[in-house]
Structure 1
């Protein structure tokens, strides 16, 4: 086999690829449209749980902990469904998952409205979170499959996906808050479950664009994507990003409620996500000269700096502005992380690798919402904003200390999937 060319990503950047060119990829819209419907509920679930439990129980601590249970279950089970998707296909995984999700969310609503003991809410929240369909990871795996002959397009594709994620985080909380305020807190979760089922089933039906399955080979040892040290480091960094999401959701809700403007919580959080979305659009259009590793360090440091301002904001307007500034660092961090992780694993483990990062965000969200809720119950809304700062700060320390683990993408096939061919491993550097 001929030696693979190496690319010095510190000095060379590929040609810039526009979004219009990307969206002309054959078959792209057939999976992007239902995927958007199915992804929107992801941004509604945690806030919907917080609003429902807060309405029926009155404790931010309990509300945050129940939401954290769902997020933790999603973080733990998500990579399992990702691996199954790589092996048996996305549709085979999605069909039972969305049905379990609908039943679990319905049970959680019934228990909360019936003022059942708090422990029963946790029992219902666990399967509700575990059955969240991993649409974002599945879409990214489809892009990798569709752009196999055009790897330079992947940075734009991942930028587009991160912008889509952030757009759902703009719309999702606003939608959940509006429905909860205008109708009832339970209605927000009903809408979440309905969108999950409809979007998930429509997405599963798009089999023509699904990536190739990589079934397990009898007698061959298949190592998890998490066996890659670089994937583990990125998962830890994304855990820190998740604490920002979780801490912000609970703290913004508490801050707005304390100010007598609870209905604006979703709007303020949407401004935070909107800053990330705008940064993601610009990031995907830029012709970067710095390496992906350098850009990740810069954007993560900017995230920590933004989080350091949140706790001191005196009113909702100031908090929205600070959240906007903080959000500007989110999408560049996520885009670069997804770009890097794609180079660290072989083809048969890509969906799993993406779900580890998505799951890490969910786990961080669980930790952030739980700790922030406890801090708010202890000393008020402002103290809850220290959780995003602490989580992002820890992620930055890990990234600075262990960043060398992201510089060896060529070992992916040996580390991740020893039973598979190395032909599918990326032949290009860990940059866009």
Structure 2
């Protein structure tokens, strides 16, 4: 099993054109994990007010939550390269300006405005990296195991960034100053996020212009878009509930470690949970494709609920470590499954926006829960904050049990971004350039993808694929076979 898992991840790396893209996407999303805590520490130190620090940090989170889907939508419409480049440079400037203003002891309102600007200009590298990796896998005719591995890899990179980011901030604040952490984040944004934008694989998600909606397309033939809209909203609600679990657990962990006289352990406890979540995320690629996504979602949410219950009765530091680490094993599987279901439920031309919506839901849910759980923990003890986490887990489990997510890919009529004759010349040229640039890599890895999926036990061409994926183009075994291309399949001429 370990060998098959390693082979699958090697295939994902090859689809990305090598390890450079995952490295750039990881370093490009790391500043997002650094800025929240870094802003809190910087403003608290320079202003001497925790209330001001909380207000500025809240403005940053609000800006990211609201503007994230807008950035994703722009990337779908205009292409990832120009949007991520512009956002990365704006974000780097906004973070640097926030540092300068905080060191200059600016009033609260300008600080909050800069915090909101820093949040709103986050380039959304994480969601767009998911979109790009999935597009590369689909374009190469990869099986469901490889697509699942791609999403697992992206989820693991997220988890590691959210563990390493705050740790870097803590080290920088201790050794130098919180401003140093934010300046480092600014440099990473300008360099690595821009590198992610300029990577050749950006052309795999070329912009598509939406045609005018016809009655059939708008209705989806049988109300398909409306049905899928409800599915997508349910997935976003689940993401927000997962974020609420994060926020409530963070407040409860902080309160309990302070109560036990070890406040410095709170970050380590939370990091331990993140490490276990990352390990579980990596292992998700080994789950057989016969275990459908709806079942995975129900198992993950049920496990999160059961494993969260001991939080209500834990009273020791080591007991907290054990409970939180075990609980972390349910987090990444749930999120990875939610992103996979989102990829199934939306057309390719809206995937960047939808992935950004999911991330915004997590961030928004975490911020709201942290705001509510903090006073609860202060007034009634850590168990009250943990009770909020258990409540969020119960709601997520109930939502998973009662929802009936669509697992078939959207029909071409539902994809309002499908290329048609209504595209502008610029859009058509962009798509043609993207196809030309990516085709060579697609054909080169098609055989490796098919071999890896076969070795790992994935269904081959002509076999039944679970979760309603029948009807997709078969895995490419050689040049000249059909390769998926977003909304449909096209043929690649054989090598001469």
TM-score range for the pair, normalised by the shorter chain length? 0.7 to 0.9
Structure 1 distance, partners of 2:308, 2:300, is 12
Contact 2:95/2:118 (8 A) holds in 1: yes
Alignment pair present for 1:163 and 2:156: yes
Structure-1 residue corresponding to 2:370 = 369
Distance 1:363 1:415, change over 3 A: farther
Structure 2 distance, partners of 1:233, 1:190, is 38
User: Could you say what secondary structure the match of 2:15 adopts?
Assistant: coil
Distance 1:189 1:206, change over 3 A: same
Structure-1 residue corresponding to 2:320 = 319
User: Could you say what secondary structure the match of 1:215 adopts?
Assistant: coil
- Offset at residue 431 of structure 1 (A): 7.3
TM-score (norm 2): 0.74
What is the aligned counterpart of 2:143 among 151, 168, 190? Answer: 151
Higher mean alpha-carbon deviation, 387-396 vs 157-166, is at 387-396
What is the aligned counterpart of 1:102 among 92, 97, 100? Answer: 92
- Give CA deviations for 1:55-82 in whole Å, capped at 9, x if unaligned: 4566666544543332222122111111
Alignment pair present for 1:385 and 2:386: yes
Structure 2 distance, partners of 1:74, 1:102, is 14
Unaligned runs of 5+ in 2: 219-224, 421-463, 470-496
- Offset at residue 213 of structure 1 (A): 1.9
Unaligned runs of 5+ in 1: 1-14, 422-426
What is the aligned counterpart of 1:30 among 1, 5, 20? Answer: 20
Alignment pair present for 1:173 and 2:172: no
Contact 2:84/2:123 (8 A) holds in 1: yes
Structure 1 distance, partners of 2:416, 2:279, is 37
What is the aligned counterpart of 2:206 among 190, 213, 225? Answer: 213
Higher mean alpha-carbon deviation, 112-121 vs 193-202, is at 112-121
- Offset at residue 260 of structure 1 (A): 5.0
Structure 1 distance, partners of 2:375, 2:227, is 31
Structure 1 distance, partners of 2:206, 2:24, is 21
Q: Where does 1:172-191 land on structure 2 (aligned, <5 Å)?
A: 172-191=165-184
Contact 1:225/1:345 (8 A) holds in 2: no
Contact 2:132/2:205 (8 A) holds in 1: no
Structure 2 distance, partners of 1:26, 1:338, is 19
- Offset at residue 300 of structure 1 (A): 1.1
Structure 2 distance, partners of 1:134, 1:225, is 27
More relative contact order, 1 or 2 (CA 8 Å, 6+ apart): 1
Contact 1:68/1:365 (8 A) holds in 2: no
- Offset at residue 130 of structure 1 (A): 1.2
Contact 2:95/2:182 (8 A) holds in 1: yes
Higher Rg of the two aligned structures: 2
Higher mean alpha-carbon deviation, 37-46 vs 51-60, is at 51-60
- Offset at residue 52 of structure 1 (A): 3.1
- Offset at residue 219 of structure 1 (A): 4.4
- Offset at residue 330 of structure 1 (A): 0.7
Q: Where does 1:226-305 land on structure 2 (aligned, <5 Å)?
A: 228-256=229-257, 259-305=260-306
Alignment pair present for 1:72 and 2:72: no
Structure-1 residue corresponding to 2:346 = 345
- Offset at residue 189 of structure 1 (A): 2.4
Structure 2 distance, partners of 1:77, 1:413, is 28
Contact 2:273/2:326 (8 A) holds in 1: yes
Structure 2 distance, partners of 1:189, 1:276, is 26
- Offset at residue 305 of structure 1 (A): 2.7
Structure-2 residue corresponding to 1:356 = 357
- Give CA deviations for 1:170-203 in whole Å, capped at 9, x if unaligned: 2122222222223223333222222222211111
Number of paired residues? 411
Structure-2 residue corresponding to 1:39 = 29
Distance 1:162 1:46, change over 3 A: same
- Offset at residue 209 of structure 1 (A): 4.5
Contact 1:246/1:368 (8 A) holds in 2: yes
Structure 2 distance, partners of 1:237, 1:351, is 18
Contact 1:339/1:430 (8 A) holds in 2: no
Distance 1:53 1:368, change over 3 A: farther
Alignment pair present for 1:407 and 2:406: yes
TM-score (norm 1): 0.84
Structure 2 distance, partners of 1:396, 1:119, is 40
- Give CA deviations for 1:18-62 in whole Å, capped at 9, x if unaligned: 222322336142311111111122222222233334445666665
Contact 1:47/1:249 (8 A) holds in 2: no
- Offset at residue 376 of structure 1 (A): 4.0
Alignment pair present for 1:193 and 2:186: yes
